[in-house]
């Protein structure tokens, strides 16, 4: 949730760094540290039917493991074979710096590994719903640097990755709230999503909250849907509900014609992600934004996000949305 126009300027450096990579199509991530994830990834496309046959939970776990395994293979090891195994040849790309197709991803794997052999993609959270997987990561190309906060969204088709959207921004040196862009502050302090039995309820709650607060710009939504213990990870907004009211109140006042258009929502358990197009004023290209909310006991208690400017040109014809 962007508070001011000045926030947007911080993302130019991220776009430039992505261009250096030769069009960073999909930020890489470390595989989830679970036996089931490892077994799902190693099973490959041939094993997809077996996982799908075991029910929704197994299929979603398979999708999460494959997304993470592909990204780690591509960006940490320069492995092109993993693309052949898990990515459709007609792969649709929404990152504006990369063309469509699996071959682009394979070329990127070689290029990134050559230029940044010690690159690390540290997964913080992975959630899956339906045919979508969302990955929240800290991407560090050069050890010792803060890197970037990145959200990737993948669509699966027949057990393979078919489509990809992303957004990312540089991690700043300091934040207005004292929280970094990745940690979990609300209890229990776990990055794993909660029980899937609450997915539908939490998704409905966040959908309503976003509609009232961001689409209709009604600050009273913060009193209705947000909990008194609210932890903020947007580096430019102060902690708590009061911080959100002040930051967003100033933002809405500065941009009275702000338009927020949610494009897709991915939820699992207590985590709900909303991928939106923010346009501050008519005629602007706007920003691609991913907001990730944590819901506990029927209230939003934590928030992470990234914001990236929509560029004037793109290497593909798909837009960022």
Of 32-36, 128-132, 270-274, the range with the lowest mean pLDDT is 32-36
Say if CB 273 and CB 267 are below 8 A apart. yes
What's the whole-number average pLDDT of the chain?
88
Are the C-beta atoms of residues 24 and 117 closer than 8 Å to each other? no
Tokens read off for 29:
């991530």
**What pLDDT score does 54 carry?**
74
Mean pLDDT of 55-68: 95
pLDDT, tens only, 17-57: 333 333 333 333 333 433 344 444 555 545 566 666 678 99
How deeply is 127 buried, as exposed, middle or buried, from its count of CB atoms within 10 A (0-12, 13-18, 19+)? buried
Alpha-carbon dihedral angle through residues 170, 175, 177, 183, given to the nearest 10 degrees: 50
Sequence-distant (≥ 6) Cβ neighbours of residue 232 within 8 angstroms: 177, 179, 238, 239, 240, 243, 244, 302, 303
Contacts of 217 (CB under 8 A, 6+ apart): 252, 258
| Residue 316 pLDDT exceeds 80 | yes
pTM of the entire predicted model: 0.87
Q: If residue 268 lies in a helix (H) or strand (E), which one and from where to where?
A: strand 259-268
Q: Give the count of alpha carbons within 13 A of 160, CB side only.
A: 16
């Amino acid at each position: 949730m962007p508070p001011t126009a000045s926030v947007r300027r911080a993302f130019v450096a991220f776009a430039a760094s992505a261009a250096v990579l030769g069009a960073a199509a999909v930020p890489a991530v470390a595989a989830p540290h679970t036996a089931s994830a490892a077994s799902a990834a190693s099973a490959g496309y041939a094993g997809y039917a077996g996982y799908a046959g075991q029910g929704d939970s197994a299929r979603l776990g398979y999708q999460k493991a494959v997304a993470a395994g592909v990204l780690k293979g591509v960006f940490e090891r320069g492995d092109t074979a993993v693309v052949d195994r898990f990515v459709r040849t007609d792969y649709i790309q929404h990152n504006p710096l990369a063309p469509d197709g699996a071959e682009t991803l394979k070329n990127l794997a070689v290029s990134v590994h050559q230029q940044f052999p010690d690159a690390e993609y540290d997964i913080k959270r992975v959630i899956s719903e339906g045919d979508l997987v969302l990955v929240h990561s800290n991407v560090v190309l050069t050890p010792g640097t803060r890197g970037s906060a990145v959200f990737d969204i993948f669509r699966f088709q027949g057990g393979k990755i078919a489509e990809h959207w992303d957004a990312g921004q540089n991690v700043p040196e300091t934040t207005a709230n004292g929280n970094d862009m990745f940690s979990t502050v609300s209890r229990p302090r776990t990055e794993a999503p909660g029980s899937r039995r609450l997915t539908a309820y939490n998704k409905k709650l966040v959908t309503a909250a976003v509609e009232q607060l961001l689409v209709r710009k009604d600050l009273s939504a913060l009193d209705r849907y947000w909990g008194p213990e609210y932890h903020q990870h947007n580096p430019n907004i102060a902690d708590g509900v009061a911080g959100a009211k002040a930051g967003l109140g100033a933002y809405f006042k500065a941009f009275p014609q702000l338009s927020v258009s949610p494009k897709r929502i991915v939820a699992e358990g207590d985590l709900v992600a909303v991928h939106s197009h923010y346009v501050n004023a008519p005629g602007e290209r706007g920003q691609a934004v991913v907001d990730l909310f944590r819901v506990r006991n029927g209230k939003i208690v934590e928030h992470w996000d990234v914001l990236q400017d929509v560029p004037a040109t793109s290497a593909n014809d798909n837009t960022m949305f």
